[in-house]
């Protein structure tokens, strides 16, 4: 089971959110299936017809079954790699789209308590009868507040520094960014020290 989950996670970097439905059937909760599947991330509207989309989904399921059962692993992996290459651009855009949607959803969740505090009963009265999203009814200014500055409608993952047109990145900021990226991947400076020490003490003697 864990193996299948991890494989799905990998494929999902290339794969659409709908495969999460399959996971739900297997008994996983909504929240866990959300963050799976970010690779194969084509949506239904990316395909010309429902039939094409279903074919694509079936292809993905085949790949996953192959990897889980250990059938034709090498051929399957080659297929995945090839897909990744062909659709790299598309994957990035889809990922960005997904990130934006998630951010929007989060903002809605957080938006409610903030707005309630500032506007009090007025908002609650408006929200209840209409049943629409409350942020849509609010005066535009309040809604815009939580939104991070500088992010356009389609934030591209590597677009961080380019949005800041005021000052080009200097050496220090670049180094900080690189180090933060490394730490996000689980690297710590301690690892370097430990490895050096281990090699030093381990290679002091031949016998």
Partner 1 sequence: MADFQTSTHRQHWILSRQDLAQKYQIANQRAIQMLLKYGATRVEVQQDGSLVYPGTPLETERNGTERHTSLPEPLTIDEEFLIRRYYELKIQQVCAAFAFPNKIQATAVLFFKRFYLQWSVMEHDPKHIMLTCIYLSCKVEEFHVSAEELGKGIQQDPQVVLKNELTVLQGLHFDLIVYAPYRSLDGFLFDMENFVQGTNNSSTQKLQEAAKFVVDTVILTDCPLLFTPGQLALAALRKANLEERAVDFERYLQSLCDRHPKHTFKELTLTFDAIDTTVDVSRQPKEADLMPIDRKLKYCRNPGLQDESKKRERKVKHKSKRVSQDTSMTTTVDASPMV
Q: For the CB of residue 186, give the shortest distance to partner 1 in the complex, in Å.
A: 14
Q: For the CB of residue 74, give the shortest distance to partner 1 in the complex, in Å.
A: 22
CB 95 within 8 A of CB 16: no
Total binding residues for partner 1 by CB under 8 A? 14
- Is the Cβ of residue 54 or residue 198 nearer to partner 1 in the bound state? 198
Q: For the CB of residue 178, give the shortest distance to partner 1 in the complex, in Å.
A: 16
- Is the Cβ of residue 117 or residue 201 nearer to partner 1 in the bound state? 201
Sign of CA pseudo-dihedral 51, 53, 55, 58: negative
**Cα 11–chain centre separation:** 13
- Is the Cβ of residue 24 or residue 193 nearer to partner 1 in the bound state? 193
Q: For the CB of residue 189, give the shortest distance to partner 1 in the complex, in Å.
A: 11
Q: For the CB of residue 206, give the shortest distance to partner 1 in the complex, in Å.
A: 6
Residues in 142-201 at the binding interface with partner 1, rule: CB under 8 A: 192-193, 195-201
Find tokens 């535009």 and name the residue: 140
The whole-angstrom separation of Cα 45 and Cα 100 is 17
The whole-angstrom separation of Cα 61 and Cα 55 is 10
Residues 6+ apart with CB under 8 A from 109: none
The whole-angstrom separation of Cα 106 and Cα 73 is 38
If we measure between CA atoms, which residue out of 31, 30, 32 comes closest to residue 8? Answer: 32
Measure the N-to-C terminal CA separation of the chain; round to a whole number of Å: 45
Task: Compute φ and ψ for 70, nearest 5 degrees.
Answer: 80, 30
Q: For the CB of residue 100, give the shortest distance to partner 1 in the complex, in Å.
A: 35
- Is the Cβ of residue 52 or residue 178 nearer to partner 1 in the bound state? 178
Binding residues for partner 1, rule: CB under 8 A, are 192-193, 195-206
């Amino acid at each position: 089971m864990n193996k299948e989950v991890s494989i799905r996670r990998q494929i999902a970097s290339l794969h659409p959110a709908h495969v999460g439905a399959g996971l739900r059937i297997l008994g996983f909760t909504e929240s866990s299936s959300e963050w799976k599947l970010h690779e194969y991330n084509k949506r239904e509207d990316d395909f010309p017809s429902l039939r094409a989309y279903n074919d694509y989904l079936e292809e993905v399921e085949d790949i996953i079954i192959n990897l889980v059962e250990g059938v034709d692993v090498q051929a399957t992996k080659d297929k995945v790699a090839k897909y990744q290459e062909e659709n790299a651009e598309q994957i990035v855009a889809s990922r960005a789209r997904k990130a934006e949607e998630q951010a929007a959803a989060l903002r809605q969740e957080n938006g409610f308590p903030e707005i309630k505090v500032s506007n009090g009963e007025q908002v609650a009265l408006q929200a209840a009868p209409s049943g629409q999203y409350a942020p849509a009814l609010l005066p535009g200014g309040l809604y815009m507040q939580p939104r991070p500055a500088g992010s356009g409608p389609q934030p591209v993952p590597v677009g961080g520094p380019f949005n800041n047109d005021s000052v080009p990145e200097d050496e220090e900021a670049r180094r900080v960014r690189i180090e933060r990226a490394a730490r996000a991947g689980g690297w710590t400076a301690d690892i370097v020290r430990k490895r050096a020490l281990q090699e030093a003490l381990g290679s002091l003697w031949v016998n």
